[in-house]
Amino acid sequence: MERQEIEKLARDYETAPLEEYKAKIVANNKASEAKAIEAGIITAAYADGTIDGKNAETRKAQEQGLLAASTDHKIALGAQSTADTDAMFKEIERKRVETLVSLTKAWLHSQSGGER
């Protein structure tokens, strides 16, 4: 294994957890944004009388119908899904780098004849 490869692996080992952390923050923010949009839609619908069911089941169905029809809500859910997927891939990348580091350590140890 070339020195440059080991140095790149070391850089990746340093940055992968940070990239994963940042992606998870973005995913959490997108989830919060989607919830806020949902709450705004539902609150406005109660205020203007769009949701007026006499029982909880009817009101819940009206809420779900409004959310399903909302373009803003669909966009927010799409952004949340994209951010969740990105965070998942960043986690996979971090685990890949960690595995490569472990394998490289084992290989380097084997090349030294097992001596410390």
pLDDT in tens, the chain (116 residues): 788 998 999 999 999 999 999 999 999 999 999 999 999 999 999 999 999 989 999 999 999 999 999 999 999 999 999 999 999 999 999 999 999 999 999 988 898 875 65
With respect to residue 11, please indicate whether it lies within any of the assigned structural domains. no
Cα(92)–Cα(24) distance, integer angstroms:
13
Query: Is residue 14 in a domain?
Result: no
Cα(36)–Cα(94) distance, integer angstroms: 31
User: Is 79 among the domain residues?
Assistant: yes
d(CA 93, CA 112): 29
pTM of the model: 0.82
Domain encompassing residue 56: 23-108
